[in-house]
Amino acid sequence: MFEIIKCPDLGNKILREVIWKVTVSQVITEKILLCVLVVDDEDYGLLTQILNQKLYTTKKIEIHTSVIGAIEKLNTIEEIMKSNELCTINISDKNHNCDHEIEYGGMCVKCGRELEDINLPFKLPCGVSGRNLKFTENLAAKIEENKKAQLINSQKLILVLDLDHTLIHTFQGKSQAPGIHNFLIDGNDYSTKLRPHLETFLESMRQMYEMCVYTMGSHNYANQIVHIVDPEQKYFASRVISKDDSENKSVKNLKLLLPFDDSMAVILDDTYEVWPNCENLILAERFLYFAEISEFDKKFCGENDCYLLFISELLKRLHNRFYSDGVNDVKQILKDLRLEVLQGINIVLSGVISEIPPSNNFYWQSASKFGAVCSNDIVESTTHVVAKNMGTKKTKAALEKNIPVVQLLWLHLSISFWYKLPEDYFKFENISNFDIRAIVNVIKIRRNSLENSEAQKIPKFTTSESESDSDSESDAVASD
């Protein structure tokens, strides 16, 4: 249904101009100024009588309406003078569902209507082109397809990076220690330490990935950290997602970036709970700097952290398989790479398992996901006994059978780094002299000695620095 808004009777007035205050498709929800009519009105005053000729004065007439609907048509002066009709309003639906394609902050960017609490086509975010920007499903699909085409053309994938405990460690307070970045939020002091090798990591990743930050912190906090990490905006540009951008404040959702197809996105985050059932996730080893850690843990934590060196090589292999091997789904590639880490390894855990059945144990499940076969007892195929301490029945039996016995840290770091570390460094007789730098150097030498065909299987470390990272071991205690 349509309602015609008539032009008021102008009498002897001459219509000179119509100044419209609305636009076609604009939705009217309350009394509104439609237009201003500029007219010439005949003057019958004394001067007119003396001169004996018609004189005119210019007047403005405001036209308001309370009709609810959408502007269908705005008439020209010629049309108004001919039909005496100003405009046509579509009132077929008094609540009028805005069907435009883009909204920003709950408002249609075309007609300006606030879209809260009305029926309208479902809109969803797509990418990080702007906070609170949403699109209709069809437009979002087109945007995503264009993004995928751009990525393929540039031979890139999407890398979603968490901030806290993944790239940085922040605490509330002010630290004067060297290498610490201090900043203020709402008058409160904060101190941030960047994870070692972060700039090297980002610089190498920018060649293969379009990187974006996704944090559970506020947008203000995220912007402060990104300014520290990427002051020239060469890694993230404006691609920053915070908890302020999501309706659900307790979990992260890849659909904010890619609502339909996540096959080209990989995530690096230290908290798996915020990514429920997400196969795109690489679970990062937590970076801890402002925390009390043991002297032994300092050998691979804090300043001696080189987790990003290992993960950068993992991400390089992932990228290579996507574009060189024709496996066009990050999720499948991650599954394959995960299973290769401990492939051919048969593990017996000692002093670690308290769960019944043993297969419910975290390390049992983790080792299995990374390609190992776990057994409760030593069998002929056992290749490793992984223990928290020596002196158990299983560790004694393993030594009698010349089966390597390694500290639990070997399994923990091999899983965290997605790389089977050399066992000798983790044997109990060597563990007190543990030095992650030596391990990295051995890997570098081994990697450089391989043929190109074998080079794909073992990461190549391109930095001269060599340190590593671990968070902590499981506190589970068993008596075996």
pLDDT in tens, 423-451: 998 999 988 887 777 777 766 665 565 43
- pLDDT tens digits, 193-219: 999 999 999 999 999 999 999 999 999
End-to-end CA distance of the chain: 81
Residues marked as catalytic: 162, 164
Name the packing angle between helices 307-324 and 198-205 (round to 10°): 10
| The two domains 155-291 and 308-455 share their CATH topology (first three levels equal) | yes
Distance CA 367, CA 79 (A): 79
pTM assigned to the model:
0.74
Q: Report percent pLDDT > 90 for the chain.
A: 60
Report DSSP letters for 328-380, one per residue. --HHHHHHHHHHHHTTT-EEEEES---SSSGGGSHHHHHHHHTT-EEESS--T
Q: What SS3 class is residue 423?
A: helix
pLDDT at 54: 60
CA torsion sign, 51 to 53 to 57 to 62? positive
Domain locations in the chain as residue ranges: 2-90, 155-291, 308-455
Average pLDDT (68-93) is 89
CA torsion sign, 80 to 81 to 82 to 85? positive
pLDDT at 136: 81
pLDDT at 244: 86
Average pLDDT (34-50) is 71
Q: What is the CATH number of domain 155-291?
A: 3.40.50.1000
- Check whether 224 has a pLDDT greater than 60: yes
192 forms bridges with which residues in the sheet?
170, 181
Higher pLDDT, 46 or 259: 259
> Do the beta carbons of residue 98 and residue 29 sit within 8 Å?
no
Closest CA to 319 of 179, 470, 127, 159: 159
Q: Name the region of 276 (left: φ>0; alpha: ψ -120 to 50; beta: rest).
A: beta
Confidence band for 470, pLDDT divided at 50, 70 and 90 = very low
Confidence band for 457, pLDDT divided at 50, 70 and 90 = very low
CATH topology (fold) of 308-455? Rossmann fold (3.40.50)
399, exposed or middle or buried, with CB in 10 Å at 0-12, 13-18, 19+? Answer: middle
pLDDT at 306: 87
Q: Report percent pLDDT > 70 for the chain.
A: 82
Which tokens sit at 406? 């390694």
